[in-house]
Amino acid sequence: MPYYGVMFLSGVGCLILQSTLFSHLMIAGVKPDLLLVLVLFNSFFRGPYQGACFGFFIGFLEDLYLGSFWGMNALAKASTAFLVGWLLKGAFWEKILIPILALFLGSLFNGSLLFLMGKALGSNWDWGLFYWKIVPMAIYNTCLVPFIYTRFYYWVGEDTKEQSL
């Protein structure tokens, strides 16, 4: 199956898991953003432009599913994927520390963008939301990296080998 077909199905699976199973596995009142993890992993290996396109698509799918402000997640995920993909282009992804730091900082950036867009659109979110929701969510996302990243890394490597044949 083509790479983006698998990524689309993974995105739908992550969206379902995030809204069902992980709603019961909340820690400190937060759940991980599995879609953001998928989008950032994609931008690590496919670069900023493909990462941003995939981030916009998955973010818009999330907006449609959640029924929130249409475009907020799409814009935030696309911007985050582009920035992370651009800043870390050519990094050595074999070392687990780089994706851990990139995912943590990317999660903080994405959460900050969503918070600022929400404030600009008139949401009466408290500034404490950053410390009580965004930072713990970034930590939760980061804790998932060792469990997900190695499988994703080897799968992308195999997919790249198949495409080069």
Q: Which of 133, 142, 98, 88 is nearest to 115 (CA)?
A: 133
Residue 163 lies in a domain: no
Q: Is residue 150 part of a domain?
A: yes
Give a yes or no: residue 92 inside a domain: yes
Q: Provide the number of structural domains found in the chain.
A: 1
Q: What pLDDT is recorded for position 164?
A: 47
Residue 162 domain-assigned?
Answer: no
pTM here is 0.87
Instruction: Determine the pLDDT at residue 162.
Output: 60
Read off φ and ψ for residue 118, nearest 5 degrees. Answer: -65, -45
> What residues contact residue 124 under an 8 Å CB cut-off, 6+ apart?
none
pLDDT at 159: 64
Residue 165 placed within a domain = no
The answer to whether residue 105 is domain-embedded is: yes
Mutual orientation of helices 97-120 and 135-164 as an angle, nearest 10°?
120
Structural domain range at position 88:
3-157
Domain membership flag for residue 119:
yes
- Looking up residue 76, the CATH number of its domain turns out to be 1.10.1760
Half-sphere exposure (Cβ direction) of 90: Cα atoms closer than 13 Å: 1
The predicted-structure confidence for 75-88, as pLDDT tens digits, reads as follows 999 999 999 999 98
Res 142: pLDDT: 93
Would you say residue 122 lies in a domain?
yes
User: In the chain, which stretches have pLDDT less than 50?
Assistant: 164-165
Kindly list the distances between the CA atom of residue 87 and the CA atoms of 21, 44, 92, in Å, as whole numbers in the listed order.
33, 10, 13
